Structures are given as structure tokens and as C-alpha cells.
Amino acid sequence: MSWFNLRIVARLAAVMALAALTAGCFQPMYAEKAPDGGPGLREKLSTVEFPPLNVPNGSREARLGVAIRNELMFKAYGGATGAPPLYSLTMRLRSSRTSVILDAATARPDVENYGIDATYELKDITTGKTVMTGSTTARVSYDIPGQEQRFARDRGLRDAEDRAAKEIADNISTRLASYLYSKI
């Protein structure tokens, strides 16, 4: 064996030794059981209640609230229902639209940004004490393909709302999982 091949073998052996030493140090976040053998994160997430948002029925915010709530419940419970609730997550939403690019001839928007600002708090149901608060934002853009296409703008807005709602639910779900995992 040449000196070069011996160095490669030595480096590979060192990497393998380090990998073997650290292999038992990691615990998957969504494991069935906690490192101490207690309930895992999935069981903790199933104890969170997601009440409906307090917004007027039939409004755009009501549709967004339902979309975000459904996404959060699916991420927490999967296809099942939740366990008896220990926590309650309440949210408040605020949406905004901004015209980014305007057509110089007609002064109508060609590209718009849609945004959702959400604040949330997690309360312990038994004590009524707030255990976690936070806020998150989502900004997405959408094109308006032509001024003669009346419904394209509405469909683009609805698609932007759906994408922003999914992003908000992902952010809240991640933060909720991090908080509950720290309590395991």
C-alpha cells in the first residue's frame, strides 16, 4: 500500500470511529417514547386543543382560520382525534395586501403581496396560566395575469391565502412541538 492509500484508510477509520461514538447520542424528536421512557411528543401534541377563531362567519379571515386550524390539528393528531386536552392554543390573525408592481398605462396592479400576521398563546387549561406566546408572519406574492381576466385576480388571491395559511400553520406547529418537546 502506498503512503497516500494509508492516509485515506486512516481518515476513514477515524470518521467511522467518531460516527460510532456519537450514534447513541441522538433521539428523534417524534420518537414513540421519550428518552426517559415516558410519553413521546406525539402523545403530548394530542393534548392540545385548537378552538375556532373568534372572527365573523363568512369572512376571508374565517376561511383562513379554518384552514390554519385544520392544518394544526392534522399535524398534532394525524388522522385521529386528540386526547383529553391539557392545553388550549388561541390565535389572532391580521391579513394585508400590497400592490408591488403597477401597470403604467392602467395603474392597475400586476403583482401583489399577501401577508398574514398571527399571534398565538398556549394556555394550561387546569391553571389558566399562559405557558407560551408567540407571533409569526407569512408573506407570499401572486401575479394578476391580465386586466381582462376578472376572476384571475380572485383566484390568485385565494391561492396566496392558502399558501400563507399553510406557512403560518407550519411555523406554529414547529414552535409548539419545540415547546412540548422541552417539557418531556
Q: Does the residue 109 lie in any domain?
A: yes
Q: How far apart are CA 179 and CA 89, in angstroms?
A: 13
Q: Is residue 48 part of a domain?
A: yes
Q: What is the pLDDT of residues 109-148, one digit of tens each?
A: 778 899 999 999 999 999 999 999 999 999 999 888 776 6
Domain hosting 90: range is: 30-182
Does residue 166 sit in helix, strand or coil? helix
**Number of separate domains in the chain:** 1
Measured CA to CA, the distance from residue 79 to residue 55 in angstroms comes to 26
Model's pTM, two decimal places?
0.79
- Let me know if residue 70 belongs to a domain: yes
CATH code assigned at 173? 3.30.160.150
Comparing 56 with 173, which gets the higher pLDDT?
A: 173
Instruction: State how far the Cα of 55 lies from the Cα of 118, in Å rounded to an integer.
Output: 13
